[in-house]
Amino acid sequence: MFKFVCNQLSRLGVPMNRMFVSLVRRMHCGMGKCCRCNIGSTYTCVDGPVFDYWSVMNLKEAI
């Protein structure tokens, strides 16, 4: 869903660093202890859970 909405916003001229997505659904413990929310070396609970779209695009399997 994020991918399609952000692509449409991008076509309308919204810069990628001005679009924000929440990856809160990936979180489990929310404290950086369970290691279940990581995307590569990025922990959703510690580093987010809200990221700009530009950052999320570079995270494999984030959206």
Closer by beta carbon to ligand FES, 11 or else 25: 25
Please state the closest distance from residue 59 (CB atom) to ligand FES, in A.
14
DSSP structural state of residue 57: H
Tokens matching residue 3: 């991918």
| Tally of CB atoms within 10 A around 50 | 12
Under rule CB under 6 A, which residues in 1-60 are in contact with ligand FES? 27-30, 32-37, 43-45
Angle value at C-alpha 1, between 38 and 4, nearest 5 degrees: 115
Closer by beta carbon to ligand FES, 6 or else 37: 37
Applying CB under 6 A, which residues contact ligand FES? 27-30, 32-37, 43-45
